[in-house]
Amino acid sequence: MYITFLVKKRNDKFIEGSLMINGEHICDAVESTENSLSTGEYALSIERCPQLKHQIIMVGSMSHTDCNICTASDCAIKKVWDKENDLIAKATDNDETPHDDLVKYEQSVRADSYKSLSELTRPVCHRIVTGNGVNGKNDGRIVVGKRIAPGVVINSKDIHHKLFKRIEKSIARGHTPILEII
């Protein structure tokens, strides 16, 4: 099976296009410009995502069985929280520190933690998913559906389900489905 992602519009926030199989338009697709896939061919596979706990369409050679992005980010998040709690505990152990200074310090530590967390919780994992767009989501997802406005799609679940079944059948026949981005 050969699926083509024909890019029709590209701006600083998203990339829009059509997914086609054998030249036939299947659905519209949108991808975030940040962390987007470059022009080329990518193998598709169906993998069980350890974070989402269900089967997903993976794009590219990275397999979730080998993937440590999700678990690595979980571990890093725990380290940030532990560091945050240690810093706050040390500051509050000092009985001499005025209450207002402690509150400011705690807010400062939490702000730094949230900044770190936002960076850690955005693993790039190229996959084809459901949704209504990619606004604010730059983790490598390609959202499929019917385009209704710039960067926005509807009927995503039904379209994704049909695409998933076609890819699954192709894999069951011993073929490696390919996604070509042009």
Amino acid identity of residue 165, one-letter, is: K
For residue 180, the model assigns a pLDDT of 96
For residue 79, the model assigns a pLDDT of 58
For residue 164, the model assigns a pLDDT of 97
Delimit the domains of the chain by residue range. 2-65+125-181, 69-120
CA dihedral 25, 146, 150, 136 (to 10 degrees): -110
The string of pLDDT tens digits covering residues 83-114 is 666 666 666 565 566 666 666 666 666 666 55
Average pLDDT of span 114-136: 74
* 74 has pLDDT over 60: no
Q: Which residues contact residue 86 at a Cβ distance below 8 angstroms, ignoring those fewer than 6 apart?
A: none
User: Quick check: helix, strand or coil at residue 142?
Assistant: strand
Nearest to 130 by CA among 141, 114, 140, 116: 141
| Contact of 53 with 67, CB cutoff 8 Å | no
Q: Which of 19-28, 74-83, 144-153 has the lowest mean pLDDT?
A: 74-83
For residue 33, the model assigns a pLDDT of 94
Q: DSSP class of residue 100? A: H
| Contact of 170 with 21, CB cutoff 8 Å | no
Nearest to 163 by CA among 65, 7, 49, 18: 18
Q: Which residues contact residue 170 at a Cβ distance below 8 angstroms, ignoring those fewer than 6 apart?
A: 1, 177
For residue 116, the model assigns a pLDDT of 54
Paired with 17 in beta bridges are: 7, 29
